[in-house]
């Protein structure tokens, strides 16, 4: 019913996650009403992103260079490795400014019930990297869920022979959060992991 070039654009938006028919229509019309300069930028960005971006062969971070900016930096501490479950999380940790080590992105978290086993999330790549690197500590920075805990324990176990310290980031009550809105599992963990005030 719509002209073909409009229908194609609507179908394109429907390829995106969480975008249904109505939203796709709305977004398609917004494209028509945009400046040509902006739509050119948009179209080029899509092509460029697809053509240039790939996973860093060392850490699986996303990059448009041979190695990602962290793996290729001479200013990082090569003795400490932070394992994250998503390359977006690297940006978040970098924003804190307090971690200067290396990263490694695993593809997912172990979840036997969903059929996701250690070999599906690239643990072997991680282990190979650790075995051939001078890491002294591995920080597991994944979501504190059942899958996250399973993954952390699995990594800890598989590295047992290597005499490397394996830690996980702290769980507990977020700064500024009202205790009354925190779930009981988090409170339980916050109690377990309590620290002496110095």
Site residues, a second copy (CB under 8 A): 1-6, 8-9, 11-12, 15-18, 25-32, 34, 36, 38-50, 52-53, 62-65, 68-69, 88, 91, 94-95
d(CA 114, CA 112): 5
d(CA 161, CA 164): 8
- Minimum CB–partner distance for residue 55 and a second copy (Å): 10
Q: β-pairing, 62-63 with 102-105?
A: unpaired
Cβ closest to a second copy, residue 35 vs residue 160: 35
Cβ closest to a second copy, residue 40 vs residue 193: 40
- Minimum CB–partner distance for residue 194 and a second copy (Å): 32
Cβ closest to a second copy, residue 15 vs residue 179: 15
Beta strand residue intervals within 74-168, DSSP E: 80-84, 102-105, 137-140, 165-168
154: buried, middle or exposed (CB in 10 Å: 19+, 13-18, 0-12)?
middle
Tally of residues, the chain: 198
- Minimum CB–partner distance for residue 99 and a second copy (Å): 13
- Minimum CB–partner distance for residue 42 and a second copy (Å): 4
Cβ closest to a second copy, residue 61 vs residue 152: 61
């Amino acid at each position: 019913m719509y002209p073909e070039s409009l229908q194609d654009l609507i179908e394109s938006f429907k390829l995106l996650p969480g975008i249904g028919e109505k939203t796709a229509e709305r977004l398609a019309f917004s494209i028509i009403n945009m400046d040509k300069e902006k739509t050119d930028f948009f179209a080029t960005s899509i092509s460029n992103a697809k053509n240039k971006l790939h996973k860093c062969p060392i850490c699986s971070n996303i990059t448009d260079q041979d190695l990602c900016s962290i793996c290729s930096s001479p200013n990082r501490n090569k003795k400490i490795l932070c394992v994250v479950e998503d390359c977006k999380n690297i940006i978040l940790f970098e924003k804190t400014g307090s971690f200067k080590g290396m990263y490694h992105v695993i593809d997912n978290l172990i979840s036997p019930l969903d059929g996701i086993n250690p070999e599906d999330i690239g643990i072997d790549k991680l282990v190979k990297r650790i075995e051939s690197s001078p890491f002294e500590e591995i920080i597991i920075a994944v979501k504190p869920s059942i899958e996250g805990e399973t993954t952390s324990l699995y990594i800890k176990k598989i590295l047992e022979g290597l005499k490397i310290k394996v830690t996980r980031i702290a769980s507990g009550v977020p700064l500024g959060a009202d205790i009354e809105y925190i779930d009981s599992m988090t409170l339980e963990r916050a109690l377990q992991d309590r620290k002496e005030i110095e």
